[in-house]
Amino acid sequence: MRFATRAIHKGSEVDSTGSVVSPIYAVSTFKQPGIGSDQRFKYSRASNPTRSSFEECLASLEGAKYGLAFASGVAAEMAALSLLKTGDEVVTTAHMYGGTYKILRKIMVNYNISTKYVYSTDADDFERAITKKTKLIWLETPTNPILKILDIRAISDIAKKRKIQVVVDNTFASPYFQQPLSLGADIVVHSTTKYIGGHSDIIGGAVVTNNNNLYKKIKFYQSAAGAIASPFDSFLALRGLKTLEVRMKKHEENAFEVAKFLQNNKNVNETLYPGLTSHTGHEIAKKQMSGFGGMVSFRMKGNESKVKKFISSLKLFAFAESLGGIESLASTPYYMITHASLSEQERAKIGITRDLIRLSIGIEDSRDILEDLEQALG
């Protein structure tokens, strides 16, 4: 079955009631036939039918055997990082979601798990950063918020030679545009809050893998630490998957129009969108993604007051954290919580400057999106 068909049918097989979608099993515990029963569902922290439906469908879309759903994207990240032990080291791209920085800097350090940051996108620089202590390489591509592109296959090849696991945060691309396991990654993490849920109405996360050993460890962590996706959130995330393909196509179509519009606007200094041939990661993106996604960032000309005026002039775009929903959102990463845990200097080093604006392009009529940007840019 093709992607769109799997998205609609996997995990939603018609049950004995004839229900054509997976119902919400708002259940904490399941009656067992007797001592020593091997029935699949016993207690919902360990396993719940609605969660399993979502996990199965997402795994299928990522080309994976196993999926695990969590209460948030960062809970899913913690689950992947739970594979590490005291003394281990993570090599990561410095260009990533600010919350991942927070976990590595404020939580993992307490367990004597250190991190090395790679500022460039060059696979050789990842290789140079590796030491004997390195057990995990953490990638995010396209990156939040400046949409850098990392070569998943090249970095995974380097990691494989040294038996280092590679995790890819695939939130920005979604499985519709990028399937990191097929490029050599070991684990994919998602904030399902974004494109997978797709409607800005849940907080959720997921881990997928093909590796049975890693799956067993993360599944154990999921049940033992307990940050599971609720039945209702799993239901909404599964419903989101059913329309992922049509939504992603429209997000991308609109994002392309916005990127081209911004590129030619006199008040814009730089447009960051991997679909543009001028983007430094365009060739790699073309190789490893089947589309370029719905996120567009840009740098405005002028001072801080211009940025403030732009944001306050927006009528259709909501000024808000988050991304990946059907509605268009604008954010200013320098000022917002996503990257607030980084110092001014650190933000400058990864290109998060005061003039940076990140747009999550929705699936509204693109004429309304462009008109709003045009009037706000002045």
Ligand X SMILES: Cc1ncc(COP(=O)(O)O)c(C=O)c1O
* 205: contact with ligand X by CB under 6 A: yes
- Interacting residue with ligand X among 93, 144, 210, 234 (CB under 6 A): 144
CA separation for the pair 68, 215 (Å, rounded): 8
354 catalytic, yes or no? no
Nearest-Å Rg of the Cα atoms of the chain is: 21
Set 42, 45, 153, 249: catalytic member:
45
Q: Which of 169, 186, 233, 355 is catalytic?
A: 169
* 3-state secondary structure string across 121-189: CCHHHHHHHCCCCEEEEEEECCCCCCCCCCCHHHHHHHHHHCCCEEEEECCCCHHHHCCHHHHCCCEEE
C-alpha distances (whole Å) from 312 to each of 237, 316, 375, 376 are 32, 11, 11, 8
- Nearer CB in complex with ligand X: 261/292: 292
With CB under 6 A as the contact rule, which of the stretches 36-44, 67-75, 106-114, 227-235 interacts with ligand X?
67-75
Point out the residue whose Cβ comes nearest to ligand X: 73
- Alpha-carbon gap, residue 321 to 305, rounded angstroms: 20
Least distance CB 174 / ligand X (angstroms) = 11
**169 is a site residue for ligand X (CB under 6 A):** yes
Q: Catalytic pick from 10, 194, 247, 347?
A: 194
Q: Give residue 263's Cα distance to chain centre.
A: 26
Burial group, residue 260, by CB count within 10 angstroms (0-12, 13-18, 19+): middle
Helix pair angle (49-61, 231-242), 10° resolution: 30
**Minimum CB separation from ligand X for residue 29, in Å?**
27
| CB-CB neighbours of 209 under 10 Å | 26
Separation between Cα atoms, residue 211 and residue 95, nearest integer Å: 27
125 is catalytic: no
> Which segment (38-46, 60-68, 166-174, 238-246) binds ligand X by CB under 6 A?
166-174
Using CB under 6 A as the criterion, what x/- string covers residues 69-88 for binding ligand X? ---xxx--------------
Cα–Cα distance measured from residue 237 to residue 202, given in angstroms and rounded to the nearest whole number: 8
**CB closer to ligand X, 129 vs 203:** 203
**Among residues 53, 60, 93, 191, which is the contact residue for ligand X, using CB under 6 A?**
191
Nearer to ligand X, 12 or 171 (CB): 171
| Residue of the chain from 48, 165, 171, 234 that contacts ligand X (CB under 6 A) | 171
12 versus 72: smaller Cβ distance to ligand X: 72
Please identify which residue in 25, 97, 215, 310 interacts with ligand X, judged by CB under 6 A: 97
Task: Phi first, then psi: give them for residue 207, nearest 5 degrees.
Answer: -125, 135
Interface with ligand X (CB under 6 A), residue total 15
x/- letters, 323..342, toward ligand X (CB under 6 A): ---------------x----
Angle, to 10 degrees, between the axis of helix 212-225 and the axis of helix 73-81?
120
**Rounded distance between C-alpha atoms, residue 78 and residue 103, angstroms:** 8
Complex with ligand X: residue 4 or 326, whichever CB lies closer: 326
Q: Is 44 in the site for ligand X (CB under 6 A)?
A: no
Decide if residue 209 touches ligand X (CB under 6 A).
no
Q: Give me the residues that bind ligand X (CB under 6 A), please.
A: 72-74, 97, 99, 140, 144, 169, 171-172, 191, 193, 203, 205, 338
Active site residues: 45, 97, 169, 194
